[in-house]
Amino acid sequence: MRIALIYPRIRGYDRESFGTNGYIANMSGYPPLSLAYAASIIRRAGHDVLIIDANIMSLSGKEIVSRLKKFSPDLLGFTLTTPTFHGVRAWIRRIRVEVNVPVLAGGALLGLFPREVMGYQEFDYGIVGTARDSLPALLGALKKGRAPKMIPGVCLRDGGKVLVNFPVSGEEGVEDLLFPARDLLPYERYFSPFSGGGGFTAMLASCGCPFSCSYCCLAGNLRFRKLDGVTAEMEECFKRYDIRNIDFYDSVFTCDRERVLRLCGAIRRLNLPFSWTARTRLDLVDEEILGAMSASGCRMLMYGIETFHASSLRRVNRPVLSVAQIRESIRLTRKKGIAAFGFFMLGIPGETEEIMKRTINLSKCVGLDFAQFTKLTPIGGTALYDLQIKATGDDYWRDYIGRGNRDDDIASVGCTIPQVTLLKAVHRANIGFYFRLPQIMRILFEARSFRRLLRYARSALNMAFSRLKEGKKAGAPENMV
């Protein structure tokens, strides 16, 4: 079979709960790893596969259709997320006017709302859970002309009914994860706001998270890749694709201290000039581990700080650190030559405007190089969202996906700050953090190159000034014609 995987370009999100358009702009240079992983699985199963990254290539609908007609696929594949769901549906309708073949959907959204997703005529088949076994089984059945009604992990529409076959077991291991099919991507085009010279990609050293923050859908079921697999993928990235900048997209990179020390040693032994970034928590670093990370090429750590208020942290099941502890961990980070990035959330249950203002003000006083402020949103699959349903009786995201007619934005239960006030505070916090003379001078001094300075400046401007315009419907396809 011939399968075309498509990553369309979406103009923006249709509600601020998904994040600001500045965040979208800053993440727009990342490769669609989920499609690249799926492509590796498809290719290993003996099928032909094409990836069209219309986002990074800025392809119009006409250009996408032209490439599809040249490839002549038997099946189209799309990855689904809640923010882009209805935008992707619009793209599918546009494409199938001229390339009318079945559509396969994948992504975490299928695990949350499979019946709601498959209720739409745009989708013929879906993958629930990981695709390692279910995707080859589905393609094998379709190739032989058999109905894939009983395959675990596959859902489909059968006449007027939606059939959902959940995976037999839980999450599959990632120890021997296939390398993403980067050769099918325009890998030379990808970038991050913080990448330097040379190519850029994202990578996983682990999946899941050992902690249980109530706002996070990744809580639990931590799985590690083999270290030699991680370093082998890094070596391939450098030697085959000239990639020198890597963002490890693990939820908490340093959750296993000894493993990280071994990984850093293995990266150093590659003796390749990598620059890499990662995400973690301030209570999971110390001077030794920061030194090892710096020596192996780490140039930025992104810390989930969220708030400085102890009661707010406890409400979302986060550890409480004093301002002095936070400041000291950031000082050690910067001492080792690693930039410190802080994530903050406004609108935590029980939070007041005074608490929110304190978080914004203190964020400027702990030594951070970069920061990002967002509004806390209860998302599907989290403990916080379960509490939201219990308190209100409103399964907001099921309605949003299944009916698509929710014009209201979701509020966080237990937070009495008006949504308009929260969104204005997010906007002011991002502007206030970056547009201070000390911060401007710090960025100018530490950028190291004019190219990186431009990316830093663009990132800050995106976060500070890119907001959804009133009355403009985002989440729609861009360049559809």
pLDDT digits (tens, 9 = 90+) for 254-309: 999 999 999 999 999 999 999 999 999 999 999 999 999 999 999 999 999 999 99
Q: Is 441 exposed, middle or buried (0-12, 13-18, 19+ CB in 10 A)?
A: exposed
Please report where in the chains the tokens 């431009």 appear, as a residue. Answer: 454
| 200/188 Cα distance (integer angstroms) | 8
Q: What is the CATH number of the domain that holds 439?
A: 3.80.30.20
> Are 197 and 254 part of one and the same domain?
yes
Across the range 134-152, mean pLDDT stands at: 94
CA dihedral 314, 399, 405, 420 (to 10 degrees): -10
> Are 64 and 210 part of one and the same domain?
no
- Token readout for 259 is 């493993």
> Are 15 and 152 part of one and the same domain?
yes
> Are 119 and 53 part of one and the same domain?
yes
Please report where in the chains the tokens 């990632």 appear, as a residue. Answer: 174
Query: Is 197 domain-assigned?
Result: yes
Q: What is the pLDDT of residues 374-422, one digit of tens each?
A: 999 999 999 999 999 999 999 999 999 998 778 788 877 888 899 889 9
Residue 339 confidence (pLDDT) above 60: yes
Q: 45-54, 113-122, 170-179: which range is least confident on average? A: 170-179
Residues in the chain: 481
Query: Is 103 domain-assigned?
Result: yes
Q: Check residue 19 and give left, alpha or beta (phi > 0: left; psi -120 to 50: alpha).
A: left
> Are 369 and 428 part of one and the same domain?
yes
> Are 131 and 266 part of one and the same domain?
no
Query: Is 285 domain-assigned?
Result: yes
| 67/304 Cα distance (integer angstroms) | 41
Order of strands across the sheet that contains 154-158? 48-53, 2-7, 75-79, 103-106, 125-127, 154-158, 161-164
Across the range 469-475, mean pLDDT stands at: 41
> Are 237 and 350 part of one and the same domain?
yes
Q: How confident is the model at residue 436 (pLDDT cuts 50, 70, 90)?
A: confident
Beta bridge pairs of residue 51: 5
Please give the pLDDT value at position 416: 87
When divided into structural domains, the chain yields a total of: 2
> Are 160 and 195 part of one and the same domain?
no
> Are 123 and 195 part of one and the same domain?
no
Please give the pLDDT value at position 217: 87
- Token readout for 50 is 């094409």
Q: What is the pLDDT of residues 228-261, one digit of tens each?
A: 999 999 999 999 999 999 999 999 999 999 999 9
Residue 452 confidence (pLDDT) above 70: no
| 40/49 Cα distance (integer angstroms) | 9
Quickly count: other Cβ atoms within 10 Å of residue 403's Cβ. Answer: 10
Beta bridge pairs of residue 219: 209
| 332/286 Cα distance (integer angstroms) | 8
Please give the pLDDT value at position 159: 80
Query: Is 222 domain-assigned?
Result: yes
Across the range 326-351, mean pLDDT stands at: 96
Q: What is the CATH number of the domain that holds 42?
A: 3.40.50.280
> Are 222 and 87 part of one and the same domain?
no
| 217/18 Cα distance (integer angstroms) | 14
- Token readout for 455 is 């990316």
Please give the pLDDT value at position 173: 60
pTM comes to: 0.91
Amino acid code (one letter) for 200: F
Across the range 34-53, mean pLDDT stands at: 97
Alpha helices in 271-373, H assignment, sequence order: 287-295, 310-315, 323-335, 353-362
Q: 337-351, 357-371, 417-431, 453-467: which range is least confident on average? A: 453-467
Please give the pLDDT value at position 468: 42
Q: What is the mean pLDDT of the chain?
A: 89
| 362/365 Cα distance (integer angstroms) | 5
- Token readout for 230 is 């991680």
Structure letter (DSSP) for residue 477:
B
> Are 224 and 130 part of one and the same domain?
no
Structure letter (DSSP) for residue 219:
B
Q: What residue numbers bound the domain in which 94 lies?
A: 2-21+31-164
| 200/141 Cα distance (integer angstroms) | 37
478 or 317, higher pLDDT:
317
> Are 137 and 233 part of one and the same domain?
no
Please give the pLDDT value at position 446: 67
Query: Is 102 domain-assigned?
Result: yes
Query: Is 83 domain-assigned?
Result: yes
Do 435 and 464 touch, CB atoms closer than 8 A? yes
